[in-house]
Chains A and B, each alone.
Chain A
Amino acid sequence: MAIRSVKNLKEFSTANERFEGAHLLCPGCAHSMIVRELMNATDDNLVIATNTGCLEVSTAVYPYTSWDTSWIHIGFENAATAAAGAEAMYKARKRKGTLKDPDAPVKFVAFGGDGSTYDIGFQWLSGAVERGHDFTYICLDNENYANTGGQRSSSTPVGAHTSTAQAGRVSYGKKQKKKDMVAIMAAHGAPYVAQLAPNKWKIMAKGFQKALETEGPCFINTVSACTTEWKFDAKDTIHITDLATDTLMFPIYEIINGHELNILYRPKNVLPVEEYLAAQGRYKHLFKPENRHVIERIQKEIDEKWEYLQRREEAKV
């Protein structure tokens, strides 16, 4: 297992990029920051499958591919299945001795957006994790179907404006709560489940390495700020992600073996959620006087969740 040193950025930057430029993701998209970081975190051979979503359609625009590793272009729902199938075949061929280079370390990774992870590919992901294949599933959570025009997904948080949950005179955007995917995957008993963010590069790289090293199915939910649908300037991707982690909208934590919860990042100054909401166009309507109650609701839910995470960490159950 060739894990790269992530002690500091200088050492990390000696990695040889395996994700090439001139893909067609939007300028400032956090998807490619996360993908690059995963691929730079290890020197092992990678077999990657990707669900349909921004990442898949933008990195494989015929006749070009942006991947220097084995990469499988697959349907909307089954990156988890494709990675699991490739892993099963690899194991079988290793057992039969038909591999060309049986000692070369190979890691199996699946990428999916939140649409294909929380909604469409949920059953397939659940099945692959239950069967216990040795692979890592990474969800690039941008909280909507950004590839098809920003429809709501079950990952869209309360109050966000999307093209199918519009804010206006009657509605304040999405009314339902965001699905807690990390808890669901931890409930599968997966050996490593985490929620990470690209602005904390070291925590994220270490999390990726831990997931790749861990035998068995690992799930990582990563925050991927979407300049187009969250409506902010392309240069502010990291700033928005900073606000997301510092307002605890996206707490960074891991759950080992389904029960041992560790909080990986505690903000020194917890910011009020207004700062995160005000920085994005999709929450603009919440600052009207009649919608103020939604902000209070969001803040209350964040506080409750943070309290819950801290108590679980203390209790170690």
Chain B
Amino acid sequence: MRGVLATDKRGVRELGAEDLVGWDEVTQGVVLNSFDIEVENPAFLRPEERPYSDFNSYTATVASWRVIKPVYNRDICIDCQNCWVWCPDSSIISRDKQMLGIDYDHCKGCGVCVEVCPTNPKSLLMFAEAEEPEEALGKWPEKKKKAK
């Protein structure tokens, strides 16, 4: 797996390629390759097996957009994958029908995953960006009883 550039400074300098043309010099017919080598069909490759090129936005991050972040509690999760199907930023990491966690490089903190989580209490909750995950897990609410 290639190292993810953990920076949100999008631009030529970060790619380390001074000979890259400026955005206003790009002409019609230019191709940006998503992968460094030819890939037959990425649908059969997991993200960690793919030869992402520096042009792929997978190597960029939008972490600085977040004010609040979702924190994941494995103990309560039932692997229903609701968060996976509705995450707009491909930021829920699911492998072999199991939810593994959140991709904080690409998560924008919209909170959709928390809203669609069906467990009681929710297995995903929003916390302040600065909050440590361990601290957040300690503050997890108790199971709510149904109002009669």
Residues of A near any B CB (own CB < 8 A): 2, 9-25, 27-33, 36-37, 42-45, 59-69, 104, 198, 201, 227, 233-239
Contact = CB atoms under 8 A, between A and B. Distances in A.
B63 to A, nearest CB: 9
B90 A65 contact: no
Contacts of A60: 32
A64 B90 contact: no
Interface string B32-68: 1011000111111111001000111111111001000
Given A10-B97, A21-B62, A238 B112 contact: yes
B20 A63 contact: yes
Contact of B81 (A13, A23, A198): A13
B128 interface: no
Interface of B: 10-12, 15, 20, 23, 26, 32, 34-35, 39-47, 50, 54-62, 65, 79-82, 84-91, 94, 96-97, 103, 105-112, 114-116
A64 B23 CA distance: 11
User: Interface on chain A toward B: helix, strand, loop, or mixed SS?
Assistant: loop
A14 B96 CA distance: 6
B77 to A, nearest CB: 12
A27 B46 contact: no
Given A13-B94, A16-B44, A63-B32, A33 B88 contact: yes
A219 B4 CA distance: 37
A62 B26 contact: yes
A37 B56 CA distance: 20
A78 to B, nearest CB: 13
A17 B86 CA distance: 13
Contacts of A63: 10-12, 15, 20, 23, 32, 54-55
B23 A62 contact: yes
B91 A43 contact: no
A277 B49 CA distance: 46
A64 B12 CA distance: 10
B103 A21 contact: yes
A166 B116 CA distance: 33
Contacts of B57: 20-23, 59, 61, 64-66
A37 B84 CA distance: 10
Given A9-B85, A20-B58, A63-B32, A68 B42 contact: yes
A227 B110 CA distance: 10
B34 A65 contact: yes
A208 B94 CA distance: 22
Contact of B86 (A15, A67, A238): A238
B125 to A, nearest CB: 12
B81 A16 contact: no
B19 to A, nearest CB: 12
A68 B105 contact: no
Contacts of A27: 65, 88-89, 108-110
Contacts of A69: 42
B83 to A, nearest CB: 10
Contacts of A11: 97
A22 B105 contact: yes
Given A27-B88, A64-B10, A21 B112 contact: no
A235 B112 contact: yes
A65 B26 contact: no
A150 B105 CA distance: 29
Q: Top 3 A-B pairs ranked by shortest CB distance?
A: A21-B106, A235-B111, A27-B110
